Amino acid sequence: MNQRPSFLLDGAEVPFEPGQTVMQAALAAGRYIPHLCYHPEFTPHGSCKLCTARVNGRLMAACTTPAGIATEVESETEELNDLRRTLVQMLFAEGNHFCPSCEKSGNCVLQALGYDLGVMTAGFRHLFPDRPVDASHPEILLDFNRCILCELCVRAAREVDGKHVFSLAGRGLGKHLIVNAESGRLVDTDVKVTDKAVEVCPVGVILRKRVGFATPIGARRYDQSPISAQALADAPRPLERNHD
Amino acid sequence: MIDVTRRKLKVATTSLAGCFGCHMSLLDIDERLFALLERIEFDRSPLTDIKHCGPCDIGIIEGGICNAENVHVLHEFRANCKILVAMGACAVTGGLPAQRNHLDLGLCLQEVYLTDPGVAHGMIPNDPELPLPLDKVHPLHEVVKIDYFIPGCPPSGDAIWKFLTDLIEGRTPKLGHGLIHYD
Amino acid sequence: MARLARHSALCTGRTSSPPGRSHIVTQPDTPDELEPRVRRIISRWGHDPGALVQVLREVQEAFGYLPAPVLTLVARLLRIPYSRAKGVASFYSFLSDEPLGAYRVLFSDNITDRMAGSESLLQAMCYRLWAEPGKVSQDGLVSVARTSCTGMCDQGPALLVNGRAVPSLTSERVERICDLILARTPLDAWPAGFFVVHDNVRRADILLGHTLQPGEAIGAALQRGAAGWSEHAANERSWREAYVGAAQGPIAILEEIKRSNLRGRGGAGFTTGVKWEACRQATGLTRYVVCNADEGEPGTFKDRVLLTSHADLVFEGMTVAAYAIGASLGFLYLRGEYRYLLEPLEAILQRRRAANLLGNGICGQPGFDFDIRIHVGAGSYVCGEESALIESLEGKRGVPRNRPPYPVTNGYRQQPTIVNNVETLCAAALIAVRGGDWYRSLGTLKSSGTKILSVAGDVARPGLYEYPFGVTLRQVLEDCGAADTQAIQISGPSGICVDATEFGRRIAFEDLPTAGAFTVFDASRDMFDVAHNYAQFFAHESCGFCTPCRVGTSMLVASMDKIRAGNGTQHDVGEIDRLNKVLLMSAHCGLGHTACNPILDTLKRFRPAYERKLRSLDFTPAFDLDGALHRARKMTGRDDADAHLEAQP
């Protein structure tokens, strides 16, 4: 068999199927490329740039680059991990990420990436933006202080829930998450606590009320194993099915 | 660079806009303190009650910068320590005290000392003994150059131990999974 | 732009709001009056959600700004989510979801405006009108703010008042404008001279000096493949799908464009013939021609002149392109700063329709159906990037797409689309008439033809200079009367800054490619200020999509601010290096990649301009330590020694 097309990722052969991106093929083959705004269930859009890799010598976002154009991909290099560290630092400095009081702490993707990449400080000047919390909804809290603008909730609402609960407004550093209501309040939207968009937030912006801090420190998701390991465990493996 | 000969390294510590939790965590290294004291001696520190620091190899600071006195102490540490370490969430990010940063300081003082329902005949304290608060709380690295950071609220005793032993042995400190955390 | 392209027949006959309407509106009307007016606007745009940017622009022109209830109404009538209307309204800097002054004054904030004194004029106006920059005056009469370069660099300082350009500002003119505003004089009653914009053509060559008549280039293009054409003409698809080998009609002109080796004039220099051919060969239901007149690069203003005085040539080039690729609809993406050109351009389109140079069966060729619509931008530099421009045409936030796929296969509404610069299309029209070989005989080996330079800054004669490619910088400096020149910014902030040792270099794709900006700085200028101004520009214009550009461009400004304030150290220069590296490595589009160019170039060539502002220390805070105690001193009434901090121990 093995006539499937493939590319080299850090020297190891990664097979792919037509239509797959470099990220999809890598994860399916059990190879981790750090990522933040990519989620296997939604259309990739490549905004966080954490997954930047050298594809045939050119720097590209692995999550949006078609595997078909790749022959050689470099990801685990000091240069690229340096870049990733700086991007994580930028996100920490941009928002108000006060981990000690955040109920997402321990289950937060941004935090887990920081751990895995060895980010010890945001380094840059903290911007300390003023972002009010929206507690209007009886079951869901929105704490925009922690928003990293990954648009996962926007995509989940659109692609899975068939709604437009979340969207983006403003531009540049003023870009921010909004909800689909003239009042600007979540309670005035058609959001349901069971929506995919509510569950998908990688950080602590969209939170179900009254369920926080249920898991003790030490037993939370990324207390147990690093995100690089967990991302692989979660990755869809369509190739394996085809194998047998 | 740290001198790795057997001379005891001088270490100073202090807590600025912090809660002393990080110092408590330092004590959490328990019996390893004895091993540590084989290699270091404390200069200015809440543990020694020395009020000003002399020349030191390592300065470890807990807490961010929220008032004029914090600035003086930080400057004293930077001037005297070859290596300056920000220890804990407040020193690294501003932490809990920085949660006031999106509020106007004047309104904060007014609320606390004048208009809060529990206040009677209030006034904003103006005793020269008291350090004046800065309009914003800053992490240490925004005020002086910081060489190393240990995140965590507080960092665990194990993390502090690993960090200090690396530093003392002349290795670039590296915490790794389980020891590095931000909460 | 932008009603749905169901039929080309739909695209004729639209008129935009009359010019008088756009000025002086105080408060939005009562809800009862509001709805019918919004309905009228939306129905003129065919209830097409793709026309959202145009609808919002017109609604704002009618009501002054876009409050939430108005956005709700627009969203309901267009059957789109409120959040989409809000997202678009808040993306473009000319649209506003907050109240604006009845007179909205925007000072052009390019470095050339600043050099000509724009800042003191802005301060003088604010002082006189009791206004604060960026805020609405208390009586709601006026708001004064800064905006990115408005393309009047040869006659700056300039401003926009309610969308209309007023160049050549002097203290007297600003005084007079204040009088008019205070007297609440409608814009139409202002002295007409205030709105006169000059072409300032200083050196014309084949393009600026052309003598083509409307229809001449189209006729020539049709003529090139006359043989064998008519048999296929009855079936409109036949000439579009015609194949190389039957060297006729569209193929003949396409070959001519390829032979000319014409390259894109927007700066990137992609070969036009290759782009057209790729689009022609791409499969799709229909194809589109887009003329990129979103001339947002600070320091460039050539497209303004081409659209003012040579619009027929531009439309002619679009029509020739349409013929070559088989498009039935074209868009002119006109930057919002040139909104005042909309009515004249629409009139020219009407005239061309009447002359059968647009519409069905152009020039009597059955099946040659093509029309052009004008999409007015709303203040966004990144929309000059072709895929962001297409997003904007589709009524969305102007965020660059992921590529591949490219617009030639998946462009406007996912159909094959070419996006060409205004100047490129003008050149294409000339080539249609005089042939590729003629064009190729001009310029250099790899850069055929001519290039129009927008010369501004410290020169005696600012304006447009058209040269064959290969001209040296020294020649241009001589011609425009520059003296004691320290540096030239070629192609704007996203281009390159050269110093006096490099004035022997040439304008050509082989050496210094350019979109046209040629901004000159004499020895009296501080090149740090130039880089600082450009850094602010990029931060202001970042769309915010990707992390490195959204955060990085603002952090660059913060570092530059810090150095400017005298608090910078080597540490900050290192920080700038680090940010530059991140932007270069990982930004989503050209804006982020080039955002660090001005700083990199000036650091390389004018490092002392930075260093003399640095403190000799390792590190100083970005903020004033003593100043940070000011609020507390005020609240406590203290002023003792301990109530102060020195910057350093």
On whether both A216 and A100 belong to a single domain, the answer is yes
Cβ pair C448, C439 in contact under 8 A: yes
What is the ipTM score, two decimals?
0.94
Chain C contact present for B51, CB below 8 A: no
User: CA-to-CA distance for B164 and A32, rounded, in angstroms?
Assistant: 32
Range of the domain at A51: 6-76
For the record, the structure tokens of C35 come out as 């709805």
On whether both C434 and C461 belong to a single domain, the answer is no
Short-list C548, C610, C609, CA closest to C581: C548
pLDDT of amino acid C34: 84
On whether both A106 and A195 belong to a single domain, the answer is yes
Residue A231 lies in a domain: no
CA distance B42 to chain A (A): 25
Chain C contact present for B143, CB below 8 A: yes
pLDDT mean over C258-281: 94
On whether both A123 and A59 belong to a single domain, the answer is no
| 3-class secondary-structure state, position C392 | helix
Residue A83 lies in a domain: no
On whether both A180 and A135 belong to a single domain, the answer is yes
User: CA-to-CA distance for C127 and C124, rounded, in angstroms?
Assistant: 5
Chain B residues with CB under 8 Å of A223 CB are: 178
User: CA-to-CA distance for C450 and C207, rounded, in angstroms?
Assistant: 8
Short-list B67, B71, B57, CA closest to B13: B57
pLDDT of amino acid B31: 95
Which CATH number characterizes residue C541's domain? 1.20.1440.230
On whether both A108 and A194 belong to a single domain, the answer is yes
For the record, the structure tokens of C404 come out as 């591949």
Q: In what order do the strands lie in the sheet with C288-293?
A: C371-376, C329-334, C288-293, C417-421
Quick one: what percent of chain B has pLDDT higher than 70?
97
User: Given B76, B132, B144, which is nearest C632 (Cβ)?
Assistant: B132
Distances (CA, A) of B150 to B162, B163, B175, C420: 11, 8, 9, 53
Instruction: With a cut of 90, say whether residue B63 has pLDDT above it.
Output: yes
pLDDT of amino acid A2: 55
Q: In what order do the strands lie in the sheet with B81-87?
A: B40-42, B9-15, B56-62, B81-87, B148-150
Looking at the structure of chain C, the number of domains it has is 4
On whether both A69 and A102 belong to a single domain, the answer is no
pLDDT mean over B47-71: 95
Chain A residues with CB under 8 Å of C71 CB are: 182
Other beta carbons less than 10 A from residue B99's beta carbon: 15
| 3-class secondary-structure state, position C182 | helix
The confidence band for B2, taking pLDDT boundaries of 50, 70 and 90, is low
pLDDT of amino acid C620: 82
Give the residue numbers in A contacting B (CB under 8 Å), as ranges. Answer: 92, 96-102, 105-106, 111, 114-116, 118, 120-123, 125-126, 128-131, 217, 223, 225-226
pTM of the model: 0.92
Instruction: With a cut of 90, say whether residue C268 has pLDDT above it.
Output: no
- Mean model confidence pLDDT for chain C: 90
Chain C residues with CB under 8 Å of B79 CB are: 649
On whether both A125 and A220 belong to a single domain, the answer is yes
On whether both C336 and C316 belong to a single domain, the answer is yes
Inter-residue long-range contacts of A70-78, CB under 8 Å, 24+ positions, other chains counted: A70/A7, A70/A22, A71/A7, A71/A8, A72/A7, A72/A8, A73/A7, A73/A8, A73/A9, A73/A10, A73/A14, A73/A22, A73/A26, A74/A10, A75/A9, A75/A10, A75/A26, A75/A33, A76/A10, A77/A10
Residue A81 lies in a domain: no
User: How many Cβ pairs closer than 8 A exist between chain A and C?
Assistant: 120
- CATH number for the segment(s) B9-168: 3.40.50.700
E strands along C449-571, which residues?
A: 450-457, 463-468, 485-490, 496-499, 517-522
DSSP state of C467: E
Query: Nearest residue on chain A to B180, judged by CA atoms?
Result: A115
Residue C416 lies in a domain: yes
Looking at the structure of chain A, the number of domains it has is 2
Instruction: With a cut of 70, say whether residue C315 has pLDDT above it.
Output: yes
Chain C contact present for B106, CB below 8 A: yes
Look up tokens 């600082």; give the residue: C532
E strands along chain A, which residues?
A: 6-9, 12-15, 52-55, 58-61, 72-74, 133-134, 140-143, 166-169, 176-179, 206-208
DSSP state of C472: B
Residue A163 lies in a domain: yes
User: CA-to-CA distance for C483 and C507, rounded, in angstroms?
Assistant: 20
Q: Cβ separation of A173 and C82 shorter than 8 Å?
A: no
pLDDT of amino acid A243: 42
Chain A contact present for B154, CB below 8 A: no
pLDDT of amino acid C391: 97
Instruction: With a cut of 70, say whether residue C18 has pLDDT above it.
Output: no
Which strand (E) or helix (H) includes residue B40? strand B40-42
On whether both A141 and A175 belong to a single domain, the answer is yes
On whether both C389 and C300 belong to a single domain, the answer is yes
The set of residues, in sequence order, having a beta carbon less than 8 Å from that of A210 and lying 6+ positions away, is none
Residue A209 lies in a domain: yes
On whether both A139 and A199 belong to a single domain, the answer is yes
On whether both C569 and C470 belong to a single domain, the answer is no
Chain A contact present for C396, CB below 8 A: no
Chain A residues with CB under 8 Å of B153 CB are: 99-100
Chain C residues with CB under 8 Å of A45 CB are: 402
User: CA-to-CA distance for C296 and A241, rounded, in angstroms?
Assistant: 52
Instruction: With a cut of 70, say whether residue C230 has pLDDT above it.
Output: no
Chain C residues with CB under 8 Å of A169 CB are: 83, 86-87, 89-91
On whether both A125 and A23 belong to a single domain, the answer is no
The confidence band for C249, taking pLDDT boundaries of 50, 70 and 90, is confident
pLDDT mean over C593-598: 91
Instruction: With a cut of 70, say whether residue C227 has pLDDT above it.
Output: no
User: CA-to-CA distance for C326 and C368, rounded, in angstroms?
Assistant: 8
CA distance B90 to chain A (A): 10
Strand partners, B84: B59
Range of the domain at C552: 528-611
On whether both A99 and A219 belong to a single domain, the answer is yes
The confidence band for C33, taking pLDDT boundaries of 50, 70 and 90, is confident
Q: Cβ separation of B93 and A97 shorter than 8 Å?
A: yes
> Among the listed ranges C36-45, C392-401, C485-494, C637-646, which one has the minimum average pLDDT value?
C637-646
Chain C residues with CB under 8 Å of A148 CB are: 547
Q: Cβ separation of A99 and B96 shorter than 8 Å?
A: no
User: Given B96, B138, B183, which is nearest A105 (Cβ)?
Assistant: B183
Which CATH number characterizes residue C496's domain? 3.10.20.600
Q: Cβ separation of A118 and B175 shorter than 8 Å?
A: yes
Domain boundary among C611, C629, C644: C611
On whether both C298 and C403 belong to a single domain, the answer is yes
Residue A1 lies in a domain: no
Chain C contact probe: residue of A173, A176, A177, A179 with most C CBs at under 10 A: A173
Residue A86 lies in a domain: no
The confidence band for C30, taking pLDDT boundaries of 50, 70 and 90, is low
Chain B contact probe: residue of C555, C620, C631 with most B CBs at under 10 A: C631
- Mean model confidence pLDDT for chain B: 93
Residue A25 lies in a domain: yes
Q: Chains with 3 or more CB pairs closer than 8 angstroms to B?
A: A, C
Which CATH number characterizes residue C168's domain? 3.40.30.10
On whether both C221 and C291 belong to a single domain, the answer is yes
Short-list C274, C389, C280, C387, CA closest to C325: C280
- Cis upstream peptide for B125 (omega within 30°): no
> Among the listed ranges A173-182, C238-247, C326-335, C363-372, which one has the minimum average pLDDT value?
C238-247
For the record, the structure tokens of C484 come out as 């004691």
